[in-house]
Every structure is written in C-alpha cells, then in structure tokens.
Amino acid sequence: MNSYAQAGQDVFVYELLEHKTDGWYVDLGCSDATKHSNSYFLERLGWRGILVDIVDGCELRAGTFIKSDAANPNARLKLHYKTLPAVVDYLSADCDDSTLGALNALPWNKVTFRCMTIEHDVYRIGPTVRDAIRDVLFKRGYTLVCADVVVEWPEGTFVPYEDWWCYAPLVPPEMMNRFKSEDKYWRDILGL
C-alpha cells in the first residue's frame, strides 16, 4: 500500500472501512495534490469526493476541487455540499487554526461521516481548540477512537496533533477496537 498521508490517515481509513474501494470523502485543507494528502490514495482506489483549500494545489485531482475558506463556505462550496450522499465515508479536516470553524460550517443536518481524522495541533496551540472540537463531535454522537495521535514533528520530536473518529453505528465495533488508542505514535496504532 502506497500511503501519501503524513501520518497514515489513509491507511487508517482503508483498514477501518475494510478495504472499501468505492467510497466518498471530504478533504478540508487538502493543500498539495499528493504530498501529505489524506485522500489521494483513496481517490486512486476509485473514491469520489470534494477537496477544499484556500490555496491552489489540488486542481488536477479527480475529486472536485473548490478554492474556498472551509470555515466560511461560499455559495459554491455550499452547492457542492448539497451533492454529497447522506453518508460520507471519510472526512479529513486539516485547516490549521481554522479547523474548528470548518467543522462548524459543515452541513451536519444533511450528512453523516463514517470516520474522520481531525488535526487539532494541541502541541502547538494548547488544548482549548482540541477540547472544543471534541465537544462538537461528541455532541453529534461520534466516538473518539484514537485520541492525540502522535506524529514526528520536527524530526526527532514526537508530538500529539490529531484525533481519529468514527460514527459507531456505521463502523463494525471490532474495527474500532482494533485501533483504539490514546497518545500513541501513528505507526504503532497502524502496526507499521
């Protein structure tokens, strides 16, 4: 498996969803088309989706790229959100300091996400934003599977920076239990 993600997020999704090859994704803060992309591997398998970023970089991807601030969606972004199925398999949110705003701008009343990887950068900005993101997702019925996933950043320094989530009614319990962890290096979570 050729992972393109910074911390194996694509491997997590692929394994958690039992090697699904025809899923849907929303990638908020997609940045570069392939480097550190959480959705590119899935797209290569046949997944469809929406890529959103405030800078150019994903125009050549198969998914629909929308240049927009995910925290303040414009009419074009809202229109594309309306085209999503009721269940989207994967949400990746990596909007740096705007991740909480991007989550709050999602059409939660119209879509449920089977799983999510949400960057919170607790190592850099402290626990306030992470805790607010967790509050939003817990209130919506999501289960925190991997809390404070650890990445090596910068080289030689290991820091917690992200949470991995599931919507339990849509994911087999044995799959969630396989990855259940807290403050663990992403390679150890995935057994790599």
Minimal CA–CA distance to 164: which of 145, 150, 179, 151?
145
pLDDT tier for residue 190 given thresholds of 50, 70 and 90: very high
Over residues 50-75, the mean pLDDT reads: 91
- Report the relative pairing of strands 48-53 and 24-28 from DSSP bridges: parallel
* 91-131 pLDDT tens trace: 999 999 999 999 999 999 999 999 999 999 999 999 999 99
Going across the sheet that includes 48-53, the strands are: 64-67, 48-53, 24-28, 87-93, 112-119, 158-166, 143-152, 181-182
Judge whether residue 1 has pLDDT over 80.
no
User: How many other CB atoms sit within 10 Å of the CB of residue 157?
Assistant: 9
Helix (H, G, I), strand (E, B) or coil at 118: strand
Q: Answer whether 0.85 is exceeded by the pTM.
A: yes
* 12-29 pLDDT tens trace: 999 999 999 999 999 999
- DSSP lists the bridge partners of residue 93 as 28, 118
Over residues 38-57, the mean pLDDT reads: 95
Domains of the chain: 9-190 (3.40.50.150)
pLDDT at 74: 84
Judge whether residue 60 has pLDDT over 90.
no
Kindly state the tokens that stand for 70.
């995910």
Q: Measure the CA–CA gap between 184 and 68, rounded to whole angstroms.
A: 33
For the ranges 2-16, 43-57, 74-88, 141-155, which has the lowest average pLDDT? 74-88
